[in-house]
Amino acid sequence: MSKNEIFADAFNFLIYDGEQVIKSEELKELDSTEIVLPYGNEAGEPKQKFRDVLKLWSAKQDENAIYVIFGIENQDKVHYAMSVKNMLYDAMNYAKQVENAKKSYKKNKVKLSEEEFLSGFRKEDKLLPVITLTVYFGAEKWDGAKSIHEMLSIKNEKLLKFVPDYKLNLITPESIKEEEFDRFKTGLGMAMQYIKHQNDDVAEVIAKNRKFEKLDRDTANLINTVTGSKLEFEETKGEVNMCRALENFRRQAKEEGREEGREEGENNLLKLIKFLIRDNKQQEIEEITTDERKRQELYKFYGIVTE
């Protein structure tokens, strides 16, 4: 997710329905460590949090400069307090912007009014917006809260009007419609599609989508990691063929199934022979080597489960 093209793809899907507004070359890596002092108390204990990925988007649209801080948090499990976690990250970043302004004015000996000196922030100063996106790599539905209000114990509308809400920006495979996967322009979309269908008709989905014939290695590794699949890829010029890998996996699974079946059959036969030896039934031992019907009758008689 730290790759600019993947990062941009995720936010273009979230904000612009897949339109390529955010360009990968317009993104700059930022320090993902958020350190901030308790507001208004320099002697307080610093707080430190680590984001997964943090980038600055710097672009020009309609002759206007745009500066936005984007953050991504990756989840392979549902986090039931994700709204609080992301809200804290964003708040700490805003506090850090205020703190940086204060340090800059102090270093450059900029004269501030009494009111401005109180916060270290001038009246005309502006903050860069911070948008945090959670990308969930689980096949199951995200059943956690998607806002602070959903986490609160009260439903009183009059009270809630005075409680600021925080909405969770979220991308989950389960919530993406089939026609929406094409809005992704990188392998992220194919990874999400595979994850969504991993427990049902993934083979059919792959067979219908020729994009899976040329998948980059990073996406293939992501699919294997988050789904627990054991697909073996044949790499050609940095690309892998997911269709072929899945077919090889299915063939291997069948062979392992047959082998397990043979082993189970042999184990059951040994159990039966031990019972017959115990009961001194020499004739039956000779019969079961050639008579399948007799063998099944004896399995049933001695309570040996064969299915």
| Sequence spans of domains, the chain | 1-175, 262-301
Buried/exposed code over 59-94 (b: 16+ C-beta within 10 A; e: otherwise): eeeeeeeeebbbbbbebeeebeebbeebbbbbebbe
C-alpha 255/C-alpha 251 separation (Å) is: 6
Above 60 in pLDDT, residue 175? yes
Above 80 in pLDDT, residue 220? yes
pLDDT band with cut points at 50, 70 and 90 for residue 60:
confident
**Tokens 């004015």 found at:** 105
Q: How far is CA 302 from CA 262, 267, 279, 293, in A?
A: 20, 14, 11, 15
**pLDDT tens string 254-278:** 555 555 555 566 677 777 777 777 7
So what's the pLDDT on residue 142?
A: 96
Do 22 and 59 form a contact (C-beta atoms < 8 A)?
Answer: yes
So what's the pLDDT on residue 277?
A: 74
What mean pLDDT value characterizes the chain?
Answer: 83
Dihedral, CA of residue 85, residue 89, residue 90 and residue 91, to nearest 10:
100
Please state whether the predicted TM-score (pTM) of the whole model is above 0.85: no
**pLDDT tens string 128-167:** 999 999 999 998 999 999 999 999 999 899 999 999 999 9
DSSP per residue, 81-129: THHHHHHHHHHHHHHHHHHHHHHHHHHTT----HHHHHHT--TT--PPP
pLDDT band with cut points at 50, 70 and 90 for residue 245:
low
Q: How large is the average pLDDT for residues 1-17?
A: 95
C-alpha 25/C-alpha 3 separation (Å) is: 11
**pLDDT tens string 185-214:** 999 998 999 899 887 767 677 777 777 777
Beta bridge pairs of residue 224 = none
So what's the pLDDT on residue 210?
A: 75
Looking at 14-28, 34-48, 85-99, 219-233, which range is the least confident one? 34-48
Identify which of 181, 208, 207 has the alpha carbon closest to the alpha carbon of residue 193: 181
pLDDT band with cut points at 50, 70 and 90 for residue 305:
low
pLDDT band with cut points at 50, 70 and 90 for residue 51:
confident
Q: How large is the average pLDDT for residues 102-112?
A: 93
H-state helical runs in 108-216:
114-119, 148-151, 157-160, 187-197, 202-208
